[in-house]
Structure 1
Amino acid sequence: MDLSSQSDESRVLIIYTGGTIGMLVGPSGYRNEPYFLTETLRCQSRFHDPLEDSLFSNSASVEGYRKWSNSGRTTPVRDEFTPVTVPSATLPLSMLTIRSSRPIGVAPTLSPDNLTPRNVHTECTQISEDVYEAQLPSLVTPRSSAHGKKGKRIRYAILEWNPLLDSSNIDTDDWIGMATEIELNYATFDAFVILHGTDTMSYTSSALSFLLEDLGKTVILTGAQIPLSQLRNDAIDNLLGALTIAGHYIIPECCLFFNHTLYRGNRVSKSSSYDLNAFSSPNFRPLVNVGIDIVVNWNDVIRQTNMRRFKAHKTMTSHVATLRLFPGITADTVRAFLTPPLKGVVLETFGAGNAPQRADLMSALSEACERGVVIVAISQCAKGSVSDAYETGRSLLQAGVVPGGDMTPECALTKLGYLLSKPELSVVEVRELIRTPLRGELTLPPGSAAAPSIGQNLTNIHDVLAQVVRLSSQPSHGGPQITVTSPSREHEEDAAAQWSWTAAEAASTESVLFPFLVHLAAAREDVPALRFCLESQVPSTPLGEGGKAHQAIAGGIVNCVDPSSGRSPLHVASLNGSEACVQLLLEAGALVHLRDSLGHTALYYAARTGHECIVETLRKAGGNLGGSDVEGGFASLAVTKAWRSGDEHAVRIWTKAGVDTSTLTIAQ
């Protein structure tokens, strides 16, 4: 879902774990240097422009640039040798509260008194076991702009790990640490960017896709092949691209951004140690392509429909491994590999899931499966899937090996480690879940549904129009009625000739009608009409000219926003107190973290209008107050007013919505 029309500013937490992106040349080659990355970004106006006085912030239009240029100002250089020549009182030094599972270090930053770099001594407080809290200075980007129109800014803080890690040293505990950092800061930030080395980034992105359960916000991993310290690098494009997508769109998945492309995190592998295009996703197209325009393939973005609050799973078994078959592999080698404490194995097979047909080899695999070892077969080929088309593949299935579809080796391994760490799952259940797409990590067999005919398209449009007319019309009291008719089957060919109807045109027409209809249904608390909209969902149409798919509604009909207010159907249903509509929208994948043009969440509107049951439902679904709800003081103001008037019912509702009433100071 596009956030550009939501609120004026979004918050992103960058978790800097290490990697090439922030390295400097040392005596023995590239090495990580603490706080170098933070200082470098602070001195570049495309990454940090708090006063909006740089060239980047004043070049959205010719008029703006000329005004800035004629003022005699220049883009400030914020380093220790060239102080910023603006009054110190105007410098916004915004601090953000960050929580971490490890002690938090503070980088040198600008002092508010004389605007020169100085260590800001921020105390890191341990608030509970393995939870630390500190105030970190934030950086803020220039506003995004297009055709002279100013958009939103991205305010972000950098949580830097100590020590910084080369990605070859990342292990399962570090994956759990990253997931924990996101969980601790989930309610405070709109999205998360993880800076990571490229060598094992695809392992981390796959692991986090499973560890981050019921994720409702954007998480993006990125890094670089050439560090930011080099004049020619890919670090700027990768970091700025990831930051831009994270700050402007809600894509509730763990993703990987590299070389102008956003991939689903559990679908990628590192394919080159040399090219800037280092990653590939051979079996699943990218979620976002960044060119002149940012093109989001919304139909491929996962919609969470289970209505549970986000949590980080904090265990992963390390007793899993990968075994690659090769001609001449012996049964003794396989038996030795499969000995305890091994619990799961990713078996990289030939081609479409084939293996040598030797009785001793199959016996070794069968014995391990009977002992409870979960063996998953994937293909050694980068592109394609395992199947049972060959007899040599079916023998593996008979031995108890589970087909892994088109999962990557990194995904299959981390999925095994994730599932086997859940004590509540039996071996049979783990084997079944391996074959089930949990986070879009494997492709199900294609359906046999045929493309809709012209008659079906016309019928769909007729149904939509009929619902619009029914909901839009006031009680007639005997007045004239509006009737919508569709052509009969015998006149279908004539209608087609008159309309020159295509699937793309049908999708375009529906995409215009459905947003109006779904908002109208939510406003009127008309559950049947709302269900009609959500069940239709306006799927993507077949490929058009040039192989491009026609996208109907960005983010899906369930999250379409009203252009005048920025409200989603969930905002409307929550404001009107329709419990049935709220429940139906959440089941269809409505995003609870969306904010309207005023920066308010659906949870805020439900609490403000006193709909207690909806507040409870939204909280269970992962909703939190955010944006201007908290930063603008609207929630605290509402609680203060309720407290003064003795409205205990309202105070209770706001408490359930997440307001800590014990910290509010009520003026007498």
Structure 2
Amino acid sequence: MDLAQGSDESRVLILNTGGTINMILGHQGYVPEPYFLTETLRTQNRFHDPLEESLFSHSASVEGYREWTRNTNSGAATPIGKSAQSRAASPTPPPQDQHHHLPTLPVRSSRPIGISHVAAQLSQSCNHNAAKHPLCTKIADDVYEAHLPSLITPRSTAPGGIRKRIRYAVLEWDPLLDSSNLEITDWIRIATEIELNYSTFDAFVILHGTDTMSYTSSALSFLLEDLGKTVILTGAQIPLSQLRNDAVDNLLGALVIAGHYIIPECCLFFNHTLYRGNRVSKFSSYDLNAFSSPNFPPLVNVGIDIVVNWNDVIRQTSLRRFRAHKQMSPHVATLRLFPGITTATVRAFLSPPTRGVVLETFGAGNAPQRPDLISALKEACDRGVVIVSISQCAKGSVSDAYETGRSLLMVGIVPGGDMTPECALTKLSYLLSKPDFSVSEVRRLVGTPLRGELTRPASTLPPAVSEPKGIDQNLESIQDVLSQVVRLSSSQRPVPRVVISHEADESRSESIAEAAAPWSWTAAEAASTESALFPFLMHLAAARDDAEGIVFCLAAERGAAAENAASPAAEYQPRRNIAIGGGLANCIEPASGRSPLHSAAINGSVGAVSALLEAGALVHLRDALGHTPLYYAARQGHEGVVEILVKAGAILGGSDVEGGFASLAVKKASSARDDNATRIWKKAGANVEG
């Protein structure tokens, strides 16, 4: 039984590749146990709340608790409304056939899932366990589909104050792999399965062993090109089967972030922290805090509140659809320099078929200055081997500050900035697998940030802001914003800005002085007011297709980010802050849950749509009714907007399809013989044949 997706529900696919999280204790130590994780999640109410399937669910609510109390006092010990905490603490195993009653989700894979229909028909008994042996159909070459039982979490508060639940299915690999056994083909398999299920699910969680997790997260960050949805890797240091473990927090945290936020990156979640996937390394084999990102701050910190560092989240700004790259070059390796390393060792290491090498150098990029060693490196570079230099230090970057570092650059070695060893290796493998890239192009791209994997050189950053904005400057900014609002709200000419000066100005009129008098605020109050106006202005500009207003907002946002970067919080309090979750391009209107892209799509604002997408607007955001910008553009008949959104990777999803709204619109267009509307819906991806 497949369920329609509600507007208060997000869908997440968990790809379970293996790792410690799946293990149980056997005679020879910890061993992975197939389907143990899925069966365990099904019995814990924090991961699966059967009451959420009911329209009368009051899980973890005041109403539910009071209902449960009344029923208990009257002798009817019904579980309705029982608190999530108490139910999670004492899970009741479901009946053996519960899988047959669980709603299912269609899941695709590059490998067979469960058993085929033919095998099921030949079997003497069709009473198989649907979780372990779902019926599998081959729908194309190397593409298989099965309807997997879905689990659903209790409702929790998502951004915007919406009470949201997460429905998810677990696609478990057979066999489960220890992460030390994962290879390039497995990275490509993960990327392929995300691509096959990209239109069905809102986000993806990958369960993985910790030993090579940072290699996989780095590789996937490159393989998943033009990613517009959240992908999170996680695992555990202690198996879920143990009473004391970190598996519950890691999996639940990854699931909640994936289900509630669109962070279009490949990330790694561990110990209450979400990292950029290509910025981490495993640094401890026994701490629960096993991963470190020494050169880049976390994207999300999970405490009492979930705090997202939106200023550092990558925003897709290209008008290209998501695709998974399915090749990586195996002819790459890592060479760590050490005192006394011989030239013979280096020559042997650099000999064919090696095409790329990550050279781990001393300190800030230094190496022994022996002529024979430098000559061996130069010969390899001249032969077309791409050598990228990174530091052996976990924290810091390579530079040309020392003569011993400049000599490497002079022979053709490319500086890798502050990339981790895992990232540098997988990036090199990815670039060398591109058949159209020349050696010179690969060398150029190695030192260029493609997925936020290295820090841009200081020369490419915005100029530093020497002084924090004072109250007067904040007031001028507020008046700038108000002028834009007035311009967009009426046909009148923009209101002239009032200039405020500390110096006495006898020529200033009394009326202007009176107008300025009420603004006796602190810089923080003024900045807060300024921040509150920007989302309103952004939506207004998007609806009016006003590029000037959008550019104004985005420029202010960039200025605030540069100002904050140049003014540490400890030095200047408060810092200017107009940061919105996902950036101003994705600021949500509280009542409707719509983003500026929704507003632009509804009004057919072609120029605004393009400007927003180039600023990182998320095409997969759905409003409070579960509709995408693409749905509204098609419904309103804005063909130009539909074409741009589809080019940028937009797809109909949520209530658009499963609520029947798109199909109903297509039927109306067909019955009215409206060929124009039918054509637009077809461009949007709706089924116009049936």
TM-score past 0.5 threshold:
yes
Partner residue of 2:106?
Answer: 97
Question: Which has the larger displacement, 126-135 or 409-418?
Answer: 126-135
The structural deviation recorded for 1:467 is 0.4
Partner residue of 1:79?
Answer: 93
Q: Give the secondary structure class of the aligned counterpart of 1:220.
A: strand
CA contact (8 A) 1:299 1:551 kept: no
The structural deviation recorded for 1:659 is 1.1
Partner residue of 2:120?
Answer: none
Query: Which of residues 499, 512, 521 is equivalent to 1:486?
Result: 499
Matches for 1:60-75 after TM superposition, within 5 Å: 60-71=60-71, 72-74=77-79, 75=87
The CA distance in 2 between the partners of 1:146 and 1:611, in whole Å, is: 31
Matches for 1:536-547 after TM superposition, within 5 Å: 536-537=556-557, 539-540=560-561, 541=564, 542-545=567-570
Q: Give the secondary structure class of the aligned counterpart of 2:404.
A: helix
Partner residue of 1:624?
Answer: 651
The structural deviation recorded for 1:500 is 5.6
The CA distance in 2 between the partners of 1:551 and 1:162, in whole Å, is: 48
Gaps of 5+ in 2: 1-5, 72-76, 80-86, 117-126, 506-512
Provide Cα deviations, 1:95-133, integer angstroms capped at 9, x if missing partner.
1111111111279xxxxxxxx994466321111111111
Q: Give the secondary structure class of the aligned counterpart of 2:52.
A: coil
Partner residue of 1:459?
Answer: 476
Partner residue of 1:25?
Answer: 25
Query: Which of residues 564, 569, 574 is equivalent to 2:591?
Result: 564
Matches for 1:563-582 after TM superposition, within 5 Å: 563-582=590-609
Matches for 1:467-506 after TM superposition, within 5 Å: 467-473=484-490, 484-488=497-501, 490=503, 499=520, 501-502=522-523, 504-505=524-525
Partner residue of 1:387?
Answer: 399
Q: Give the secondary structure class of the aligned counterpart of 2:353.
A: coil
CA contact (8 A) 1:238 1:259 kept: yes
The structural deviation recorded for 1:158 is 0.5
The structural deviation recorded for 1:327 is 0.4
The CA distance in 2 between the partners of 1:373 and 1:482, in whole Å, is: 61
Partner residue of 1:338?
Answer: 350
Query: Which of residues 334, 337, 341 is equivalent to 1:322?
Result: 334
**Aligned CA-pair RMSD:** 2.7
The structural deviation recorded for 1:510 is 2.5
The CA distance in 2 between the partners of 1:425 and 1:506, in whole Å, is: 51
Report how many residues are paired: 637
The structural deviation recorded for 1:453 is 3.9
The structural deviation recorded for 1:70 is 2.9
CA contact (8 A) 2:268 2:274 kept: yes
Question: Which has the larger displacement, 199-208 or 91-100?
Answer: 91-100
Query: Which of residues 551, 555, 562 is equivalent to 1:535?
Result: 555
CA contact (8 A) 1:143 1:150 kept: no
The structural deviation recorded for 1:509 is 2.6
The structural deviation recorded for 1:34 is 1.1
Q: Give the secondary structure class of the aligned counterpart of 1:215.
A: coil
The sequence identity of aligned pairs, in percent, is: 70
The CA distance in 1 between the partners of 2:491 and 2:350, in whole Å, is: 71
Query: Which of residues 634, 640, 643 is equivalent to 1:613?
Result: 640
The CA distance in 1 between the partners of 2:629 and 2:115, in whole Å, is: 35
Matches for 1:392-431 after TM superposition, within 5 Å: 392-431=404-443
Question: Which has the larger displacement, 243-252 or 397-406?
Answer: 397-406
Instruction: Please tell me the residue identity of whatever aligns with 2:499.
Output: S
Partner residue of 2:390?
Answer: 378
The structural deviation recorded for 1:80 is 5.9
The CA distance in 2 between the partners of 1:328 and 1:458, in whole Å, is: 63
The structural deviation recorded for 1:505 is 4.6
The CA distance in 1 between the partners of 2:69 and 2:102, in whole Å, is: 26
The CA distance in 2 between the partners of 1:117 and 1:128, in whole Å, is: 25
Matches for 1:245-256 after TM superposition, within 5 Å: 245-256=257-268
Q: Does 1:165 align with 2:191?
A: no
Provide Cα deviations, 1:479-504, integer angstroms capped at 9, x if missing partner.
xx965423147469x989974653x5
The CA distance in 1 between the partners of 2:424 and 2:150, in whole Å, is: 38
Partner residue of 1:142?
Answer: 154
CA contact (8 A) 1:288 1:297 kept: yes
Partner residue of 1:41?
Answer: 41
Change (3 A) 1:422 1:83: closer
The CA distance in 1 between the partners of 2:22 and 2:504, in whole Å, is: 67
CA contact (8 A) 1:50 1:92 kept: no
Partner residue of 1:205?
Answer: 217
Provide Cα deviations, 1:132-179, integer angstroms capped at 9, x if missing partner.
1111111000101499x8710000000111111100000000000000
Query: Which of residues 510, 522, 530 is equivalent to 2:530?
Result: 510
The structural deviation recorded for 1:381 is 0.5
The CA distance in 2 between the partners of 1:365 and 1:497, in whole Å, is: 69
CA contact (8 A) 1:51 1:92 kept: no
Provide Cα deviations, 1:29-67, integer angstroms capped at 9, x if missing partner.
11111111111101111100132399xx75644443232
Change (3 A) 1:66 1:392: same
Partner residue of 1:111?
Answer: none
CA contact (8 A) 1:60 1:150 kept: no
Change (3 A) 1:506 1:199: farther
Q: Provide TM-score, normalisation by structure 1.
A: 0.90
The CA distance in 2 between the partners of 1:145 and 1:585, in whole Å, is: 27
Q: Does 1:526 align with 2:546?
A: yes
CA contact (8 A) 2:250 2:271 kept: yes
The structural deviation recorded for 1:474 is 5.3
Provide Cα deviations, 1:68-111, integer angstroms capped at 9, x if missing partner.
23322244845366998xxx9xx96211111111111279xxxx
Provide Cα deviations, 1:194-252, integer angstroms capped at 9, x if missing partner.
00000000000000000000000000000000000111110000000000000000000
The CA distance in 2 between the partners of 1:657 and 1:61, in whole Å, is: 40
Q: Does 1:242 align with 2:257?
A: no
Instruction: Please tell me the residue identity of whatever aligns with 1:69.
Output: T
Q: Give the secondary structure class of the aligned counterpart of 1:584.
A: helix
The CA distance in 2 between the partners of 1:284 and 1:420, in whole Å, is: 26
The CA distance in 1 between the partners of 2:502 and 2:456, in whole Å, is: 35
Change (3 A) 1:197 1:438: same
Matches for 1:229-378 after TM superposition, within 5 Å: 229-378=241-390
Matches for 1:627-642 after TM superposition, within 5 Å: 627-642=654-669
The CA distance in 1 between the partners of 2:148 and 2:672, in whole Å, is: 38
The CA distance in 2 between the partners of 1:39 and 1:441, in whole Å, is: 37
Matches for 1:429-448 after TM superposition, within 5 Å: 429-446=441-458, 447=461, 448=463
Instruction: Please tell me the residue identity of whatever aligns with 1:73.
Output: T
Change (3 A) 1:507 1:368: farther
Instruction: Please tell me the residue identity of whatever aligns with 1:644.
Output: S
Partner residue of 2:234?
Answer: 222
Q: Give the secondary structure class of the aligned counterpart of 1:162.
A: strand
The structural deviation recorded for 1:643 is 1.1
Gaps of 5+ in 1: 1-5, 108-115
The CA distance in 1 between the partners of 2:346 and 2:450, in whole Å, is: 29
The CA distance in 2 between the partners of 1:637 and 1:518, in whole Å, is: 32
Query: Which of residues 597, 601, 623 is equivalent to 2:628?
Result: 601
The CA distance in 2 between the partners of 1:638 and 1:78, in whole Å, is: 45
Change (3 A) 1:551 1:522: closer
The CA distance in 1 between the partners of 2:53 and 2:631, in whole Å, is: 34
Q: Provide TM-score, normalisation by structure 2.
A: 0.87
The structural deviation recorded for 1:531 is 2.0
